[in-house]
Structure 1
Amino acid sequence: MDRLQSMLYFSRVVALKSFRRAAAELGMSAATVTMHVRRLEQTLGVRLLDRNTRSLKLTEDGVIYLGHCRQVLDDIRQMETLLGSHGKTLRGVLRADVPMILGRRIIAPQLQVFLRQHPQLTLQLTMENRSNDLIGRDWDCAIRIGELPDSSLLARQLGAMRWITCAAPDYLERAGTPQSPEDLARHNCLGFMPVGQRTPAPWQFLRDGKITAMLVHGNLSMDSLDPLLEAAAAGAGIVQVDELAARDLLVQHRLRQVLAGFATDGPPIMLIANSGRQMPAKVRAFGDFVARLLSRPDDPEPARGGGASVSGSR
Structure 2
Amino acid sequence: MDRIDAMRLFTRVVDRRSFTQAAHDLGVPRSTATQVVQQLEGRLGVRLLQRTTRTVRPTLDGEAYYRRCLAILDDIEDAEGAFSGAVPKGMLRVEVQGTLARHFLMPGLPDFFARYPDIAISMSESDRWVDVVREGVDCVLRYGALPDSDLVARTVTTLDRITCAAPGYLDRFGRPQAPEDLAGHRAVGLRSLTTGALRAFEFVRPEEVTRLDVPAPFSVTGTESFLDGVRLGLGLAQMPLFHVQRDLAEGRLERVLADFPVPAAPVSVLYPRNRQLSPRVRVFIDWAVQQFAAAGHVARLSD
Fold conserved between structures, TM > 0.5: yes
**Contact 2:157-2:268 within 8 A present in 1 as well:** yes
Q: Summarize the Cα distance change of 1:107–1:182 in structure 2 as closer, same or farther, 3 Å threshold.
A: farther
Indicate yes or no: 2:45 matched with 1:43: yes
Query: Please, which of 190, 193, 209 is the counterpart of residue 191 of structure 2?
Result: 193
CA distance in 2, matches of 1:88, 1:133: 30
Give the structure 1 partner of residue 204 of structure 2.
206
Query: Please, which of 106, 121, 125 is the counterpart of residue 123 of structure 1?
Result: 121
**Structure 2 unaligned runs (5+)?**
1-5, 12-40, 47-64
Query: Please, which of 68, 72, 75 is the counterpart of residue 75 of structure 1?
Result: 72
Show CA shifts across 1:124-171 (max 9, x none): 1101343342123232211134235241x3432112343311122333
Paired-residue identity, %: 27
1:43 counterpart letter in structure 2: G
Q: Which moved more, 1:167-176 or 1:184-193?
A: 167-176
CA distance in 2, matches of 1:173, 1:119: 53
CA distance in 1, matches of 2:291, 2:247: 16
Give the structure 1 partner of residue 158 of structure 2.
160
**Structure 1 unaligned runs (5+)?**
9-38, 45-67, 304-314
Give the structure 1 partner of residue 213 of structure 2.
215
1:137-176 alignment runs, 5 A limit: 137-145=135-143, 146-151=145-150, 153-176=151-174
Show CA shifts across 1:182-221 (max 9, x none): 2222323111111133441211111124211110113210
Give the structure 1 partner of residue 38 of structure 2.
none
**Contact 2:160-2:299 within 8 A present in 1 as well:** no
1:264 positional shift: 2.9
**Contact 2:129-2:194 within 8 A present in 1 as well:** no
1:276 positional shift: 5.1
Q: Summarize the Cα distance change of 1:209–1:185 in structure 2 as closer, same or farther, 3 Å threshold.
A: same
1:96 positional shift: 0.4
1:115 counterpart letter in structure 2: F
Q: Which moved more, 1:240-249 or 1:177-186?
A: 240-249
Give the structure 1 partner of residue 281 of structure 2.
283
CA distance in 1, matches of 2:118, 2:266: 31
Give the structure 2 partner of residue 242 of structure 1.
240
CA distance in 2, matches of 1:240, 1:190: 9
**Contact 1:154-1:278 within 8 A present in 2 as well:** no
**Contact 2:74-2:90 within 8 A present in 1 as well:** no
2:45 counterpart letter in structure 1: T
Show CA shifts across 1:60-105 (max 9, x none): xxxxxxxx99987643343345567874644332210012232244
**Contact 1:106-1:245 within 8 A present in 2 as well:** no
1:248 positional shift: 3.6
CA distance in 2, matches of 1:87, 1:251: 49
2:184 counterpart letter in structure 1: R
2:188 counterpart letter in structure 1: L
**Contact 1:171-1:235 within 8 A present in 2 as well:** yes
Q: Summarize the Cα distance change of 1:238–1:109 in structure 2 as closer, same or farther, 3 Å threshold.
A: farther
Show CA shifts across 1:27-49 (max 9, x none): xxxxxxxxxxxx899839xxxxx
CA distance in 1, matches of 2:165, 2:292: 22
1:126 counterpart letter in structure 2: S
Query: Please, which of 93, 103, 112 is the counterpart of residue 91 of structure 2?
Result: 93
What is the CA RMSD across the aligned residues, in angstroms?
Answer: 3.9
1:231 counterpart letter in structure 2: G
CA distance in 2, matches of 1:99, 1:83: 32
- Larger Rg computed on CA atoms: 2
